[in-house]
A = this chain, B = another copy of it.
Amino acid sequence: MAEKIIINDVGPRDGLQNQEKILSPEQRLSLINKLIEAGVRDIEVGAFVSPKAVPAMAGTDVVAAGLPKGDFGFSALIPNRKGYDLAKMAGINTMGLVIAASNTMNEKNVRMSTDQALLVCEDVLTQAKQDGMKVIAYVATAWECPFEGLTDEQVVIDIVGKLFSYGAQEVILADTIGAASPGQVKSLMSKLVAEYGAERLSCHFHDTRGMGVADVYAAVECGIRKFDASIGGLGGCPFAPGASGNVATEDVVLMLNQMGFDTGIDLAKLAEAADLAAELTGNCDGGNASRWIKRQIEKGELATAS
C-alpha cells in the first residue's frame, strides 16, 4: 500500500486572488469541480476578506453554496473573527486562519502586531472549538519576510506552539514569497517535526526562485505528508511584493506520484484543470513540467506518473 500524501489545491483562492481578471463565482466553481474530477479532495475555495481589499474573493459565499456535497476538505481563508463568522454562515467547515511570523507583515496584512494577531487567533480558535469547527492555521512568511528579511526559526516554532495550544488542528508553514531553499525548509521543518510531530503540519510553497518542488521534496524527507499547491502554478499575494506563482499542483503531483506516494490525483485530468485555469484567467503558463505532461498525454504515455 502506497503511503498517502494529501494535496490541498489553493488555486481557487491563492491562485485567483491576485489576478487582473476577476472570475465570477460560477467560473470559480467550474475550476473547483475540474479539480475534484482529477481526484483533488482538499481545496481552498475562497476567502472571507474585505471585498474592497481583495475584490477577486468577493462572492465566496456564493461559491460555498455551490460546492458539491461529500467527503471533501473545503477550506476558506479567514483573517479574523469577522471572516470566521462569515465563513461559518456560508457553511464552510474548515477555516484557514492566517498569521504572519513577521511583525511588519502582520501590520501590512491585518494592521496588527504579531501579539495582537495571536490574540485574534486565540479568540477565533476558542470560538471554533465551541462550534465544533476545524481550523487550519497558516504561518505566513515562515522563512522570509519581504520587509524584515530572514525569519527567526524560534519565532516560528513559538507561534506554531501557540496555535496548537489554542486548538488549531493543523498548522501550515507558508513560504509566502517563495524565498526558502530546500536547506532552509529542512532546517525549520525538522525542528517543528521534532517538537510537534509531522501529522499536524503542512507546507505551502511558491516557485518564485524555482525551488518550489525541491522545497516539497525537502519537507517530504522531514516526514510532511500534506502540501498546498496551486493548479497551473497560479498565484501570488497582493500584500507581499515579489510573491509570484505558487508551486504548481501538477509539478508536485508528478513528483510525488513518481516517488510512489498515493495522492489520489490523475495527472491527465489535472492537466485539464490547468488548461481551464489558463482559459479562465488568461494568465497561467502551467507548471515547469506542464510541457512534458502534455506531450505524454498526446503520446498516451503517462505510465511513470500514475
Contacts and interface: CB of A to CB of B under 8 A. Distances in A.
Q: How many interface residues does chain A have, given as a range?
A: 20 to 34
A179 B178 CA distance: 25
A214 B255 contact: yes
B213 A211 contact: yes
Interface in A178-222: 178-179, 181-184, 207-211, 213-214, 216-218, 221
Interface stretch (A68-76, A134-142, A154-162, A285-293): A285-293
A50 B288 CA distance: 33
A218 B251 CA distance: 17
A274 to B, nearest CB: 13
Contacts of A211: 213, 254-255, 289
A295 interface: yes
Interface in A263-306: 287-289, 291-292, 295, 304
Contacts of A207: 288
A292 B221 CA distance: 26
A214 B288 CA distance: 12
A258 interface: yes
Contact of A209 (B144, B184, B216, B254): B254
A64 to B, nearest CB: 33
A295 B258 contact: no
Contacts of A144: 304
A66 interface: no
Nearest to A251: B210
Contact of A260 (B183, B254, B292, B295): B183
Interface string A143-158: 0100000000000000
Counting chain B CB atoms within 10 Å of each CB, the highest count among A216, A218, A255, A291 belongs to A255
Given A217-B214, A217-B217, A209 B292 contact: yes
A259 interface: yes
A289 B255 contact: no
Contact of A181 (B210, B255, B292): B255
A240 to B, nearest CB: 13
Contacts of A287: 210
B217 A259 contact: no
A91 interface: no
A51 interface: no
A242 interface: yes
3 nearest interchain CB pairs?
A210-B288, A210-B289, A183-B259
Given A181-B259, A207-B288, A210-B255, 15 more contacts: A144-B304, A182-B214, A182-B217, A182-B259, A183-B258, A184-B259, A209-B254, A209-B255, A210-B292, A211-B213, A211-B254, A211-B255, A213-B213, A244-B291, A244-B292
